[in-house]
Chains A and B, each alone.
Chain A
Amino acid sequence: MNSSYRFFYHLIRLVLGGVFIYASLDKILNPGAFAQAVFNYQVLPGELINPTALILPWLEFILGVCLLFNRWMQGASSLVAVLMTFFMGLILFNLARGLDISCGCFSTDPGDGPMDSLTLARDVLFLILAVGLVALTFHKKNHHYDDPSQSV
């Protein structure tokens, strides 16, 4: 893995790790408010709203920790990319439906402004970073298979 690959690999994992941990904190602290935000999306049956509100923030937090500490990177980077794709799909779906709801992405405060094209642009950027991180993670791993003497 050459130095520019290494630089981008570490930069992206640190940025996404920080973003995921930051995004999880308010949701972990306010599960009731986050359950309301999940409900507002109107995509899940009632029975799945609270389990999602309880587990998703911890998934974000643990993924953020994995990225920050460079651990379980194949699983973590893949899950981050899947989650970002899922979040982007949800935002697109709700923008298309014209639902006047808050994103709930970084804050559970329902008084936050409604999601808009800027919310979508931000998620597209994170998705590009996440896909880039998956590519770099597997590049690093495959490089390691080709030449086990080299590592990051």
Chain B
Amino acid sequence: MQPSALRQNFIDTIREAGLIILLSIAAGLAVNLARTDSIPFVQDWSTEGRLSQDNGDSLAISLAEAKILFKENKAVFLDARSRDLFDEGHIKGSRSLPWHEVDDYFQEALQGMDREAPVITYCDGESCNLSHDLALFLKNMGFSNVKVLINGWTVWIENKLPIEASDK
């Protein structure tokens, strides 16, 4: 192939790819502007931002508050991580409700729970979203007092609070 043809190939590819990208940007922005459920172009994705609710309240609960509820046995702790991780170790007395299998486990996990009672969901990692997704799911199901313990598993063991493993 001639060098000129090679250059033309390259120019054609870049031109076509550029047009496709420009069209995508235009379509993405225009459709978002036109739709009723549009999302902001820039959003606060910090932990606080993600956990703030429409009324301004935060879904997050501090470790100190969670610890008090734990010691007074006033809250149900729900572990949103996978069942394997739960079996390896979890907050003492917590129930497993893996977010990725929520449809399979929610009836078993939520059995006998009072919908007005405090519920604390947790997973592992500052940006872990499983507990947040689970908390929103529970609120939609009518649980009125749901909180998220951010980075729950890590902060719990760092503070040497009671944990247990599942019997196998």
| Given known A-B contacts A54-B32, A110-B133, A112-B100, A141 and B9 have beta carbons under 8 A apart | yes
- A75 close to B81 (CB less than 8 A): no
Minimum distance in angstroms from B142 CB to a CB of chain A = 18
Q: Residues of A within 8 Å of B, CB-based: how many? A: 44
- A142 close to B18 (CB less than 8 A): no
Minimum distance in angstroms from A139 CB to a CB of chain B = 11
What 1/0 flags go to A50-78 for Cβ under 8 Å of B? 11011111110111001000001111101
Cβ-defined partner of B99 (8 Å) among A32, A47, A58, A111: A111
- B5 close to A145 (CB less than 8 A): yes
Minimum distance in angstroms from A89 CB to a CB of chain B = 19
| Given known A-B contacts A46-B46, A141-B9, A32 and B39 have beta carbons under 8 A apart | yes
B81 contacts across to A, CB distance below 8 A = 100
- A74 close to B16 (CB less than 8 A): yes
A114 contacts across to B, CB distance below 8 A = 82, 100
Beta-carbon nearest neighbor of A100 in chain B: B82
Q: Does A135 touch B at the CB level, under 8 Å?
A: no
> Which segment, of B21-29, B56-64, B88-96, B108-116, faces chain A?
B21-29
CA distance A79 to B20 in the complex (A): 9
Interface of chain B, main secondary structure = helix
Q: Does B146 touch A at the CB level, under 8 Å?
A: no
Beta-carbon nearest neighbor of A72 in chain B: B16
- B29 close to A32 (CB less than 8 A): no
Cβ-defined partner of B41 (8 Å) among A39, A50, A59: A50
CA distance A62 to B24 in the complex (A): 7
Minimum distance in angstroms from A88 CB to a CB of chain B = 19
User: In the complex, how many residue pairs between chain A and chain B have their CB atoms under 8 Å apart?
Assistant: 119
- B28 close to A54 (CB less than 8 A): yes
- A75 close to B102 (CB less than 8 A): no
B100 contacts across to A, CB distance below 8 A = 100, 102, 111-114
- B1 close to A146 (CB less than 8 A): yes
Cβ-defined partner of A66 (8 Å) among B20, B27, B32, B82: B20
A62 contacts across to B, CB distance below 8 A = 20, 23-24, 27
B-contacting residues, A108-130, CB 8 Å: 110-114
A46 contacts across to B, CB distance below 8 A = 42-46
- A76 close to B28 (CB less than 8 A): no
CA distance A145 to B1 in the complex (A): 7
Q: Does A136 touch B at the CB level, under 8 Å?
A: no
| Given known A-B contacts A59-B24, A75-B12, A78-B13, A54 and B39 have beta carbons under 8 A apart | yes
Minimum distance in angstroms from B88 CB to a CB of chain A = 13
Cβ-defined partner of A58 (8 Å) among B19, B31, B37: B31
Which residues in A have some Cβ–Cβ distance to B below 8 Å?
28, 31-32, 35-36, 39-40, 42, 46-47, 49-51, 53-59, 61-63, 66, 72-76, 78-79, 100-102, 110-114, 138, 141-142, 145-146
26 A-B residue pairings within 8 Å (CB atoms)? A31-B35, A31-B37, A31-B39, A40-B129, A46-B45, A49-B43, A54-B29, A54-B41, A55-B25, A57-B28, A58-B23, A58-B27, A66-B20, A72-B20, A73-B16, A74-B12, A74-B16, A75-B16, A75-B17, A75-B18, A76-B16, A100-B82, A111-B99, A112-B100, A113-B101, A114-B82
